[in-house]
Amino acid sequence: MHEVSLVVGLVLTMVAVSTLGRAVRFPVPLLLVAVGVVGSLLPFADDFRPRPDLVLVVLLPPILYAAALKSSAIDIRDEVGPILSLSVGLVLATTIVVGFALHAAVPDIPLAAAMALGAIVAPPDAVAAVAVTRRAGLPRRAVTVLEGESLFNDATALVALRVSVGAIAGSITAVEAVGEFVGAAVGGAAIGLAVGLAVTFVRRQVTDSIGDTAISLTAPFLAFIPAEQVHASGILAVVTTGLVLAHRSPVDQDASGRLVEGATWSTLAFVLEGTVFLLIGLGLRGVIADVDFGIGEVATASLVVLAAVLLVRPLWIFGTNWLGTLVGGGRHPPPPWQHMAAASWAGMRGVVSLAAALSLPLDVPQRELLIAVTVVVIVGTLGFQGLTLAGLIHRLGIRPPDPRDDALQRARALEQAAQAALARLDEVVAASPVPDPVVDALRQVAEQRTVSTWERLGDRSSGGDPPTVTYRRVRREMMRAERQILLRLRNQGEVDDEVVRSLQHELDLEEALLSQFEEADIAADEELREVRPTRPRACRHLEEASTPPPPDVLACPDCLRLGWKWVHLRQCLACGQVGCCASSRGRHAEAHWRDRDHPVMRSIERGEAWRWCYVDRVLG
């Protein structure tokens, strides 16, 4: 009963602290650690220490699996060089530098034990770094690299730790260490790939979303356990399985399966990630109580290791990029130095380092001192880097991805999808008669999604809601009336409760979809408000374009001639010609550009004041 009460208390505390952190815009991981430290002073938390196997075997695999499900195998493939450089090269470099520096500063610590500590503190915490960088608005490519690093660096560090512990015991040579490292990496990736493909085959045979999600919940452990049994990297196996399943999800799962699995893993990841930071804070008191070394020795070792950890990362990032430019002859220029500086400071350590330190065998020399130094590095990086990273990104002048570019990409993608859908609709209608009202309704559904995306680019300050916003507001009122009637019929016994539940479920699905669109609109409005007005990127056509007078007639003349309807209207800034948008059937604005080579158009919809260069594909 005590364990159940502890778990319930941890979850409720985590939810409350996370809600508070988001409300006050304070890094949630740091706040959770602070609350955990305060909680460790309570009587019931006396001598609390998180079990290493609880973190490394029970918590870490599903956390990394959930992160892999949200990652893109294609994006990771495109950034595989920087990701491998950080997740393998930097981890090994940190391990070596920390090992030699600590052994030189404290000769009583054998080199192999110092290397073990280097492996323990080498991997930055996945959750803390990505949470802060996303909130601070780091560009998408940099976030992808950090996410990829966080997926694979734990595997590198834990294999390096295993090799170091073997070296302490004298049971492994240098050649054997290299072979074990390569074998663990290759074996983990191979097992993860095999499990991922096996799960994709099994889930194709499952027809209900609940069973599909149940399979997904077992997937990280199906990969982790056999990999560890054969001394391969279980963490790498878990990550590989997650990436395979995420990449295959659009083919192997139906819509309801993806919705249920996504909601389940989002909730589980939220609980597990928050819990691990609480465990860090709760465990600090017990770990510190075990230290029986002098304050001078602890301080010396801690300062040396912390300094090495803070310095190696920027030296590695700037150095490898400079080397890559030198070797490549300038063909592949490095990212902006501001982005490299921000990534250099995103090195907060977390619960994996603490669990790895606690997992050290009892006969490791200076074990308590190594654990104490690990605690100092965790607290130091979380407090120092975690509190200053967002401010550093802001001071470096790094701008987040332009949400209007995202809106345009979304509109173009949805436009092509809608065209494919409408083409398929025509094929179906040609093959078998479909009533005209049904055809019209289906066409409206296909076209409506692109319309709402273009509306996000409009300026809402002029008053009045766009049609899609009005639609959602009125539809919510209609659903509220429907629910009231359903509940009245149920309470009066006129309709069975099971029937009402089924109808309620259908309304819930529709309202959830409306809420998702509404949340996206709110987030987009906030982002657009921050960047409006914005300076266009270097584009000669936008700079030189004039502004013709508004047209006398708000209509697309080509659509009028053909008897077609349009969605939105655009005006050429070179000659004033009006044409329909890319979401319309005719796409006459784009056709005008191709025919006349007039590069810039503007929106002439109410409340919209943006321009678009067809040549440079730049929004201004």
pLDDT tens digits for range 248-267: 888 888 777 888 888 899 88
- Burial group, residue 156, by CB count within 10 angstroms (0-12, 13-18, 19+): buried
* Residue whose token pair is 């006349």: 596
Residues 181 and 300 in one domain: yes
Distance CA 587, CA 594 (A): 11
Same structural domain for residues 48 and 17?
A: yes
- In sequence order, which residues have a C-beta less than 8 Å from that of residue 233 and are 6 or more positions away? 155, 158, 159, 184, 185, 187, 188, 189, 227
Look up residue 611 and give its two tokens: 């321009």
- Residue 360 has a pLDDT of 83
Answer yes or no: pTM beyond 0.75.
Answer: no
**Per-residue confidence (pLDDT) for residue 513, from 0 to 100:** 72
Domain range for 98 is 2-395
Residues of the chain with pLDDT under 50: 458-463, 527-537
- For every residue of 510-545, which 3-state class applies, written as one string? HHHHHHHHHHHHHHHHHHHHHHCCCCCCCCHHHHHC
H helix or E strand, kind and range, residue 580: strand 578-580
Query: Considering 337, 365, 395, which residue would you say is the last residue of a domain?
Result: 395
Decide: helix, strand or coil at residue 125: coil
Instruction: Name the residue among 18, 125, 13 with its Cα closest to residue 64.
Output: 125
343 shares its domain with 469: no
CB under 8 Å to 21, separation ≥6 — which residues? Answer: 27, 28, 31, 32
Give the end of a domain, one of 395, 430, 458: 395
Contact 197, 148 (CB under 8 A): no
Distance CA 351, CA 335 (A): 30
**Which of 125, 104, 126 shows the shortest CA–CA distance to 115?**
104
Do both 570 and 514 map to the same domain? no
Q: What CATH number is given to the structural domain containing 601?
A: 3.30.40.10
Sheet holding 569-572, edge to edge: 578-580, 569-572, 600-603, 611-613, 618-619
Q: Are residues 47 and 155 in the same domain?
A: yes
CB of 278 within 8 A of CB of 34? no
The verdict on 292 and 211 lying in the same domain is yes
Residue 571 shares a structural domain with residue 521: no
* 52, amino acid identity: P
Residues in the chain: 620
CA-CA distance, 461 to 468, in Å (whole number)?
17
470 and 370 inside one domain: no
Domain count, the chain: 3
Q: Quick one: pLDDT at residue 280?
A: 75
CATH number of residue 287's parent domain: 1.20.1530.20
**Could you tell me which of 395, 373, 18, 60 has the C-alpha nearest to residue 242?**
60
Does one domain contain both 548 and 521? Answer: no
pLDDT value of residue 461? 46
Task: Judge if 614 and 497 occupy the same domain.
Answer: no
- Chosen domain end from 507, 531, 555: 531
Q: Are residues 385 and 353 in the same domain?
A: yes
Specify the pLDDT at position 522. 54
379 and 452 belong to one structural domain: no
